[in-house]
Amino acid sequence: MAKTIRVALAGAGAFGVKHLDAMRAIEGVAVVSVVGRELAKTKEVAEKYGIGHVTTDLAESLARPDVDAVILATPTQLHASQAIACMRAGKHVQVEIPLADSLKDAEAVVAVQRETGLVAMCGHTRRFNPSHQWIHRKIVAGEFHVQQMDVQTYFFRRKNLNALGQPRSWTDHLLWHHAAHTVDLFAWQTGPIVAAHAMQGPMHPELGIAMDMSIQLKSATGAICTLSLSFNNDGPLGTFFRYIGDTGTYIARYDDLVDGKDNRIDVSKVDVSMNGIELQDREFFAAIREGREPNASVAQVLPCYRTLGALDAQLARDGA
What secondary structure letter does DSSP report for 161?
Answer: B
Same domain? For 161 and 82 the reply is no
Binning pLDDT at 50, 70 and 90, where does residue 209 land? confident
Same domain? For 106 and 179 the reply is no
Same domain? For 10 and 114 the reply is yes
Which of 188, 223, 172, 136 minimizes the C-alpha distance to 297?
188
Per-residue pLDDT, averaged over 231-251, amounts to 93
> At 62, which CATH number?
3.40.50.720
Residue 286 included in any domain: yes
Residue 316 included in any domain: no
CA distance 78 to 185: 23
Same domain? For 143 and 239 the reply is yes
pTM of full prediction above 0.85:
yes
Same domain? For 253 and 286 the reply is no
In this predicted structure, what is the pLDDT of residue 255?
A: 80
Same domain? For 116 and 146 the reply is no
Half-sphere exposure of 202 (CA within 13 A, CB side): 5
**Residue 207: is its pLDDT beyond 90?**
no
Same domain? For 241 and 264 the reply is yes
Q: What residues make up the domain containing 28?
A: 5-125+276-295
Whole-number average pLDDT of the chain: 94
In this predicted structure, what is the pLDDT of residue 165?
A: 66
Domain count, the chain: 2
Residue 320 included in any domain: no
DSSP per position, 62-122? HT-TT--EEEE-S-GGGHHHHHHHHHHTT-EEEEESPS-SSHHHHHHHHHHHHHH---EEE
Same domain? For 54 and 90 the reply is yes
> At 222, which CATH number?
3.30.360.10
Of all helices (H) and strands (E), which one includes residue 136? helix 130-140
8 A C-beta contact, residue 179 and residue 213: yes
Same domain? For 165 and 243 the reply is yes
